[in-house]
Amino acid sequence: DSGVTQTPKHLITATGQRVTLRCSPRSGDLSVYWYQQSLDQGLQFLIQYYNGEERAKGNILERFSAQQFPDLHSELNLSSLELGDSALYFCASSARGADTNTQYFGPGTRLTVL
Amino acid sequence: EDKVVQSPLSLVVHEGDTVTLNCSYEVTNFRSLLWYKQEKKAPTFLFMLTSSGIEKKSGRLSSILDKKELFSILNITATQTGDSAVYLCAVSMDSNYQLIWGAGTKLIIKP
């Protein structure tokens, strides 16, 4: 158990809908990262937040957005969903200090768009 | 462009064999290299390497970094079927906290 929690574990929805994925980082971690992993594909970095502020953006679509709240949990919002958005969405967190590069992953949310 | 390349992309061996997985990188301001194992779930952290020539070891797994030649290897000795997974290599840079990920090596251990 990495200490990173994600909800829900599974989500099934229809095209055009909007969903929100939630992530709670490990206690004390200030950075949160979101990744998308489609079937048999590599990890695609979406976005990073550090202590409530957006730090870096990767291959995140305009239909997707995220935020990190004062209690450091983060939410990833996916809207106008398409079939191709079906994937595993991982959240990871990393610590403040010397070991800032080790990311610890949550169990993921499996999104299925029908 | 910063990149991380892993080889081979896939590997099938028999239980008891020793395997070596490779990760080469080209990044600016290298900070560290990390190895992760991903089974049918989230990646789990294995090693972080920052210095050349210092082997990190955990049970049957070991890894070493060569900062001059810009690569790392992950060795697994006496492989078991439970070692079957995708092994991911990632590199971090001083300029930010993102990780640049390789595509992974899919390792299959046959009984």
Reported as a single tens digit per residue, the pLDDT across A42-82 is: 899 999 999 999 988 888 999 999 999 999 999 999 999 99
Chain A interface disruption, residue of B1, B99, B100, B108, most A CBs within 10 A: B99
The pLDDT assigned to A107 comes to 96
**pLDDT for residue B105:** 96
Q: Indicate yes or no: CB of B48 within 8 angstroms of CB of A94.
A: no
**In this prediction, what percent of chain A has a pLDDT beyond 70?**
96
**In the predicted model, is pLDDT for residue A98 greater than 60?**
no
Decide if B11 contacts B21 (C-beta within 8 A): yes
Question: A101: which residues sit within 8 A by CB, 6+ positions away?
Answer: A94, B31, B32, B34, B48, B92, B97, B99
In this predicted structure, what is the pLDDT of residue A16? 97
Please answer yes or no on whether A56 and B102 come within 8 Å at the CB atom. Answer: no
**Who wins on pLDDT, A105 or B1?**
A105
pLDDT at B22: 98
Tens-digit pLDDT profile for residues A10-37: 999 999 999 999 999 999 899 999 999 9
Is the model's pLDDT at A99 over the cut of 60?
no
Per-residue pLDDT at B51: 85
CB contact under 8 Å between B44 and A102, yes or no, is no
Residue B99 with chain A: CB contacts under 8 Å: 45, 101, 103
Q: What is the DSSP string of B52-89?
A: TTPPEEETTEEEEEETTTTEEEEEE-S--GGG-EEEEE
pLDDT mean for each 10 residues of chain B (111 residues): 94 97 93 93 93 92 95 97 96 80 96 93
For all residues of chain A together, what is the average pLDDT? 92
pLDDT of A97 reads: 56
